[in-house]
Homo-oligomer: A and B are copies of this chain.
């Protein structure tokens, strides 16, 4: 039996690293967009790595996927049409489809191989891919949003990699303007916004770009996510033509589907701003 080794992501920007003890490499390939590796870990199930960056583990992805989805969908009165940009592992799509008010959910992932590998190595995340309300497209999300019918969507979820490489164009005012145009009044854009501790400048820049695209109500919600730098992550919600002051608390408290992190209490908790974040963002 060989000694277990470790996969470690040394995150240059924050000067910190996170690693997992691995049993073996299950798969590695270079796609037209990126390099994808799948490892079997000793304690965290399977691990997906893209271009050296940890994307998800079987054990802790529920935190991210639930928090990228349910706060936005329980803030919107009745989200019928949802678009996910990125999200190729299908975990966000699965969470979105737990909401029975959703009539159509499109996942727009540029790299089909991410989804094909998720089907194989994270089948639980792909459990709802055959739902008749789901549509999986493997095209450029920036272009998709730019060409979207105006006033046609209720929620846009940007579930992307870090703002370098293919995802860079998902963090600027031009993209946010496309989202703004595509959303109906009261529609919500939600995007993963990195670590509140390590990426405060990025969060501020994102929020500035969202504002310049027409979004006036903004909230940044922190949540734990062990596999990402600092173990503390966030999503930022932006709303078109309405505020972000409350959510359907009763709906969240009586939801008819299972979650592992999200509930009405943790939703409220995510709206609480730590002192340094309140000072930095003014939420």
Q: What are the interface flags for A242-283 relative to B under an 8 Å C-beta threshold, 1 for contact and 0 otherwise?
A: 000000000000000011111101101110111110100000
Chain A residues touching B, range: 35 or more
A16 touches B10 (CB 8 A): no
Q: How far is the CA of A16 from the CA of B231 in the complex (A)?
A: 12
Q: Is the CB of B268 within 8 A of A272?
A: yes
Question: Taking each of A226, A260, A261, A270, which has the highest tally of chain B beta carbons within 10 Å of its own beta carbon?
Answer: A226
Which one of A42, A269, A276 has the highest number of Cβ atoms from chain B below 10 Å of its Cβ?
Answer: A269
Q: How far is the CA of A261 from the CA of B262 in the complex (A)?
A: 21
Q: Pick the residue among B8, B15, B224, B225 that contacts A44 (CB under 8 A).
A: B15
Distance of A7 from chain B, by nearest CB (Å): 10
Q: Which of B8, B41, B224, B259 contacts A231 (CB 8 A)?
A: B224
| A274 to B, closest residue via Cβ | B261
Stretch at the interface among A18-26, A76-84, A151-159: A18-26
Q: Which A4-47 residues have C-beta < 8 A from chain B?
A: 6, 8, 10, 14-21, 41-44
Question: Which residues of B lie under 8 Å from residue A146 when comparing CB positions?
Answer: none
Cβ of A274 to closest chain B Cβ, rounded Å: 5
Of the candidates B18, B42, B274, the one whose C-beta lies within 8 Å of that of A18 is B18
Query: Which listed residue, B20, B197, B270, B275, touches A16 by the CB 8 Å rule?
Result: B20
A–B complex contacts, Cβ < 8 Å, 17 sampled: A8-B8, A15-B42, A16-B21, A16-B43, A16-B44, A16-B226, A17-B20, A18-B18, A18-B19, A60-B197, A225-B231, A231-B231, A231-B232, A263-B274, A265-B272, A265-B273, A268-B268
For the complex with contacts A16-B44, A260-B276, 11 further pairs of A-B residues with Cβ separation under 8 Å are A10-B19, A16-B19, A16-B20, A17-B17, A17-B19, A18-B231, A60-B197, A197-B226, A226-B231, A263-B275, A269-B272
